[in-house]
Amino acid sequence: MVTSKTPFREIDIRLPHLRFAARCWGPENGIPFLGMHGWLDNAATYDHIAPLLPELKLVSLDFHGHGFSDHLPPGIAYHFADSVDLMFRVADQLGWEKFNLIGHSMGAAVAALMAGVIPERVQNMILIEGLGPFSRRDSFGPRALRLSIEGMKSIERKSMPLYPDLEAAVQARYKVGGMKLDSVRTLVQRGVRMVENGVTWASDSRLRVGSRTYFSEEQIIEFFKQIRCPTLLIHGDFYFQENPDWQQRMRARCEYVPDLQDVLLPGGHHLHLDNPKPVAQAIRFFLKNRI
């Protein structure tokens, strides 16, 4: 695991209706980057790479329903597209008119839509293991809504898993696979909360319910066409090569992003945690002469 002598700060970013927790790295006058994590991860996703990019002022958020951030009120479903609006509101609270984005997986999907919605505010964008959200055919719409309605009813009747201590939660997540143990521990330390008889996941259980609406592939491409900032897309070779259908989809999407550099590096889906040095090197090379 990478460690650093550079301390981070824990901050709260308060909107009128939601409080976002964030971990802030780097100097006050550093290059402003809004960091967004993957589904069911949290702000600690950049703990291993932030020390390798000391010139950045990286504000790494817990999305709502994740980590230390607020959950939505009871009975309300999470909508992917809402995160686009919320992240611009967060940037407003930080006083950033123009800024840069770094996103992993789900966070990369949010970032790509942000850059296509209000492109004049995004200066540079780094996407790790993701280029836009999952798409569905238009005909899937009724099915998606039904599954979500049924899923919300079902999830409300279930309780979250309970573990006797933090290490038991770490081991449970590690058994799922896909990450080194140190990387798992980094995320889990911020991803659990203490309860009476042990620890449980801090994330909102409603996040596990499928989306109620999806964009079609054609709609997502229209977002990409509006992107104006230089974009770095980083793939881990393990998942990319083991999933040829996803590889083909990503290759096709890349054609519609105007100024995109596509880099394949050793590693899996969480390569920025498992093997951060090559990822940091690719980022620094990308940003050279751009900022």
Identify the DSSP state of 206. G
The helix/strand/coil state of 284 is helix
Give first-to-last CA distance, the chain, whole Å: 29
User: Annotated catalytic residue: which of 60, 69, 83, 105?
Assistant: 105
| Distance between CA atoms of residues 22 and 69, nearest Å | 8
Cα-Cα-Cα-Cα torsion 255, 261, 266, 268, nearest 10 degrees, comes to: -60
Classify the C-alpha dihedral 91-95-98-99 as positive or negative.
negative
Q: How many Å apart are CA 14 and CA 81, to the nearest integer?
A: 20
Sign of CA dihedral 203, 208, 213, 218: positive
DSSP SS3 for 69? coil
CA distances from 275 to 58, 65, 99, 179, 218 (A): 19, 27, 26, 10, 34
- For the chain, the maximum distance between any two Cα atoms, rounded to a whole number of angstroms, is 54
Does the annotation count 105 as an active-site position?
Answer: yes
List strand residue ranges (DSSP E) for the chain, in order. Answer: 9-14, 19-25, 31-36, 56-61, 99-104, 122-128, 192-195, 198-201, 231-236, 260-265
Which residues are identified as catalytic?
105
